[in-house]
Structure 1
C-alpha cells in the first residue's frame, strides 16, 4: 500500500510542476513582445537586448525541462490558468489588463509605461529567485532527483533574469521599484502560496491538459 507521505509528495510535485510549466511558458511567450519593445526603445543598447533574448531563451529551456519531467512520468500537467500566474496577476494589477491585452505599441510610445514594465519583470524575477531558493530546501523537491536538478538550473539562471532590468533602470536614473509595486508583488505571492496552490492541491477535479502549451509553436 502506498504511504500517505508518498501520495502527498506525488501530488505536491504534480501541482508544483504544473504551475511552473504554465509560468515558464507564459514567461517566454510574453518576452517576445518585451524584446519587440526594447528593440524599438533601446536600439543603441545591444547588451540590454541580448540580455532579454537570453532571458527568453532560459524561460523556454525551463519550460522544456518541466515538460520532459511530465513526459517521463507519462502524464500531462494539470490544466492551470492565469490565476496561477504571478506575472499575469502582476500585469493586471499594475496595468489594469491581461498580458494578452497589453498594448505593446503603447508601452513603446510611453517612457513611463516601459519603465513600469521593466520594474514588474524585475520584481517578478526577484520573487522567483527567492522562491526557488526555498524550494531547493524542500524535502519533497529534494527527494525527486530530476525535479531538484531542474530547480538547480533555474536557480543558476535566475540572476540574469532581473539584473539587466535593474541595471537599465539605474542607467536611466529611474526608481527601481515603487512601494505600491512591491506591495502588489508581496500580496500576489502570498495569495498564490496560501490560497491558490493549496486549493489546487486539494481539488482533485482539476483536469489535465489535452495538449502541450507549445503545440504548434515554431
Structure 2
C-alpha cells in the first residue's frame, strides 16, 4: 500500500500542473476570443461558446487554488514545460503563446483554422486524461479533488466541441495527422518525463503569489 507521503506528493504535483494549465488556458483564451470576434463577427454563437470556455477555465483554476488553500500551501513552481498548450503552440507555430501574431492569424484562414485545431486537440486530450484520473483510486481518495475532476469532466466537452463544429461548418479538417502526432508526443513527454521529474524534485520551490495576483508567478 502506498504511504500517505506518496499520496500527498502525487496530489501536490498533479494539482500544481493543473493549476498552471487552467491559468494558462483562461488567460490565453482572452486573445482567442478577440481573434474570433474579428474573424467571425457575425458568429455570435461561436463567440459565446468561447466566452463560456474561458469562464470554465477560470472556475477550474479557482477550484484548484482553493484546494491548495485548504492544504495550507502554495503550488509548486512550474513553467511552460508542463503546459500542453504551450508545447503544442510551440510545435505548430514555432513560437510561444505570447509571440503569436494574432493579426496574422486573423488575416490568414489556414492559420486561424490551425489554431482552432490545436485548441480542439488540446481539450480532447484533457477530456481523455480526466477520464483516466476519475478511475485513479489514489486521486479519488481525496473528496475535494474528486469533486473538482468530476466538474472538469462535465465541462470539458464544451471546450472542444465548439472548435470542432466550427471547422466542420467550414468544411475543413478537424485534425491533421501531424497535429495528432504532435499531440500524442507532447502527452507522452509530459506523462513519462515532466511529471515524474517534478515528483522526484524534492527541492522544488513553491510560487510566492497566486498567478492571478502576479503575472510573473510562472516563468514562461
Q: Please classify the TM superposition score into its range, dividing by the shorter chain length.
A: over 0.9
In structure 2, the residue matched to 1:39 is 37
- Asked if 1:215 is matched to 2:198, the reply is no
In structure 2, the residue matched to 1:110 is 108
In structure 2, the residue matched to 1:49 is 47
- Asked if 1:160 is matched to 2:158, the reply is yes
Deviation per CA, 1:123-151, whole angstroms, max 9, x where unpaired? 00000000000001101111000000000
In structure 2, the residue matched to 1:173 is 171
Aligned equivalents of 2:14, 2:185: Cα separation in 1 = 19
Q: How is 1:126-137 mapped onto 2 (pairs within 5 angstroms)?
A: 126-137=124-135
Higher mean displacement: 135-144 or 19-28: 135-144
In the comparison of the two structures, how many residue pairs are matched?
A: 215
Deviation per CA, 1:89-142, whole angstroms, max 9, x where unpaired? 000000000001111111111111100000000000000000000001101111
In structure 1, the residue matched to 2:14 is 16
- Asked if 1:75 is matched to 2:73, the reply is yes
C-alpha deviation, 1:5, in angstroms: 1.5
Aligned equivalents of 1:4, 1:23: Cα separation in 2 = 27
Aligned equivalents of 2:18, 2:102: Cα separation in 1 = 25
SS in 2 for 1:62: helix
Aligned equivalents of 1:137, 1:8: Cα separation in 2 = 18
Aligned equivalents of 1:152, 1:34: Cα separation in 2 = 26
In structure 2, the residue matched to 1:63 is 61
Question: 2:195 is matched with which residue: 190, 194, 197?
Answer: 197
In structure 1, the residue matched to 2:85 is 87
C-alpha deviation, 1:216, in angstroms: 5.4
TM-score with structure 2 setting the length:
0.96
Deviation per CA, 1:144-181, whole angstroms, max 9, x where unpaired? 00000000000000000000000000000001000000
C-alpha deviation, 1:205, in angstroms: 1.4
* Two-structure CA RMSD over aligned residues (Å): 1.0
Runs of 4+, deviation exceeding 3 Å: none
SS in 1 for 2:172: coil
| Unaligned 5+ runs, structure 2 | 216-220
Aligned equivalents of 1:43, 1:5: Cα separation in 2 = 55
Aligned equivalents of 2:39, 2:114: Cα separation in 1 = 14
Aligned equivalents of 1:59, 1:95: Cα separation in 2 = 23
| Unaligned 5+ runs, structure 1 | none
